[in-house]
A and B are shown apart, each in its own frame.
Chain A
């Protein structure tokens, strides 16, 4: 097993110690921050993201949501490098249209997930720097969440957090939705109202502790009736 060199943590403060002359190569990537979260219930799915677009110490925009609607039953959340997010969503939209025209039906969430995996892997040696999470309803109408890594490895989950605050949010979701790391607790199935409240609380916590998350929260709730969007303000500092 070999590990890949990482050339400095993206977007984090560099050390100010002088270690000698350093050659700076042009990096085609930038880190634009942002957190995405998706939760699947019995008959609903929620995809939520913050709306801050940052780079280094600056904020480019306070209103750049990271959830993109793909079909009536599927929403994708993309965070990471904004340029790759935009291109990737354009490519997915084009492929959705092509599928619709050749097969005369809309792509299902599972099919979109499998297709995205191959699109990402096609760029295995110059990857899209995007952390994707797809949330939607499967063919039976149950909620489905598919989480990806930047090169296309994916699987179906019940809940997943991705982006800059993912390491802070995922343990909280494991505990509250997965009932992990607790003993003797009754496993109550998650209702839509409780899930939306949980997502709001979780993002408020993320905005407190992660500098790249904040400004506003966009929540998309997907049910068989359609996609319902809400926006909630978060800390702007």
Chain B
């Protein structure tokens, strides 16, 4: 691609991570002011109250991610609700950012979708400028700092970034939280998911066992939480990149369970 030639860029996505050359990278060159598309330009600094909206936003979810010996696993439901109406029963809440980084989204779907896109753009620009991929830790910090000017506004983004630099998991929230951890669950259904995960997740799980724990956790959460439901998506991240399991309808699971009672 033309931009790659201009930057004398060598695509390192295909190469093993240990052969990257590390440059003493300066801080990420400051991106253009927020007036460059598509960051929202009209921050409500002038009015003390924001404009009252005549419609509700899309919220409510169950997402989870955890690390184990086989990599990082991320799972989420697919229901996108809008104060009582299911606006979309098949939305995608786990968005791939690049081949080795996946982000789960929770909060307002428009905010999550657009900020993930902005993050993907910035990570790609970083990679082209500095000839190396930004680590998951760096991506989390970048996202957190990009969201900081909007703290106190109605932006609602609660994402977990699951990446492979040796396996890393970070939770970033629009109120400024940025945490590293081994296990996170986010959303209105997270208390139910946590109970399954706290019982079932161990470091030594195999990939099949881990997938079934993740699926079970999302299933139980969708069963009890009104704002989660429909399908479950499972993504698995390893040194070779992310792989996606086929989307599963939880209705079948529910009837299977009923029959075995």
Contacts and interface: CB of A to CB of B under 8 A. Distances in A.
Interface of A: 1-7, 10, 25, 27-29, 31, 117-127, 129, 147, 149-155, 167
A117 B114 contact: yes
17 contacts: A1-B61, A3-B59, A3-B83, A4-B57, A5-B52, A6-B56, A25-B52, A117-B114, A118-B38, A119-B38, A121-B40, A122-B37, A147-B88, A152-B114, A153-B114, A155-B92, A167-B85
Given A123-B40, A149-B109, A152-B113, A10 B55 contact: yes
A6 B54 contact: yes
Contact of B53 (A121, A127, A153): A127
A84 to B, nearest CB: 11
Nearest to B59: A1
A4 B154 contact: yes
Interface residues of B, number: 42
A123 B42 contact: yes
B52 A7 contact: yes
B24 to A, nearest CB: 34
Interface of A is mostly: loop
A153 B55 contact: no
B27 interface: no
A153 B107 contact: no
Contacts of B113: 117, 152-154
Given A2-B156, A25-B52, A167-B85, A151 B110 contact: yes
B1 interface: no
B150 to A, nearest CB: 9
B51 interface: yes
Given A3-B59, A7-B54, A149 B40 contact: no
A118 B50 CA distance: 21
B187 interface: yes
A155 B88 contact: yes
Contacts of B92: 155
B56 A4 contact: yes
B138 interface: no
B153 A125 contact: yes
Nearest to A167: B85
A149 B43 CA distance: 20
B54 A129 contact: yes
Contacts of B58: 149, 153
B56 to A, nearest CB: 6
